Amino acid sequence: MKNLSISLTPAKCELLDNILNEFDEEVYIKSDRVLKIFRGNGSLASDYLDFLVQMNLVILVGQVDGIALPAMVGKQAGVDMFISEGGFKRRYALKKLEEDTGKSIFDLQNENLDLKEKTQKQDQLLKSLEDSITQQGKNILHTWLMRVLYFFAGILMTYAYFKLFGTA
């Protein structure tokens, strides 16, 4: 086996994940299923399988010198967890995010938690401001209703005064 190093891209990560997803519930698959992913390019498929072997994700069974692909490919323990955690695509995206931001995933998670706390505090403040505004609105409405009521009471009392004590 050659010491292979593949510089990962999103497309290459997808191919690697496709190989691992091909196993589904099976422990071993025939190499032609892997060959199908690479549209018949056995040399390329062999390079990707060698990379997966180096990563301890698969084993090659029935490999013969001079033939690019083994008879079967077996998955190692931990492949299912690796795929359930997002596989190569997720790891590539996390690495890219780390490179772009200059921060580690741990730093980004802490920053995210801090932002969530600030958001919660802002939500609480906004809720209390809304409650305060609603209460002020109710107070203003109550004050104006009382003024209108006093105004009509004054008109009614003036009318009654002129009716009772008015000159005829």
pLDDT one-digit tens code per residue, 110-156: 888 999 999 999 999 999 999 999 999 999 999 999 999 999 999 99
- Taking CA atoms, 57 is separated from 50, 76, 105, 108, 124, in Å, by 10, 5, 24, 28, 48
pLDDT grade, residue 1 (50/70/90)? very low
pLDDT grade, residue 165 (50/70/90)? confident
Q: Which residues of 136-168 are buried (b: 16+ CB within 10 A; e: fewer)?
A: eeeeeeeeeeeeeeeeeeeeeeeeeeeeeeeee
The number of angstroms, rounded, from the C-alpha of 127 to the middle of its chain's C-alpha atoms is: 27
- Provide the 10 A C-beta neighbour count for residue 73: 27
- When pLDDT is averaged across residues 73-81 and rounded to a whole number, the result is 91
Write the pLDDT tens digit of every residue in 5-16. Answer: 568 899 999 999
- When pLDDT is averaged across residues 150-167 and rounded to a whole number, the result is 90
> Residue 167 has what pLDDT?
64
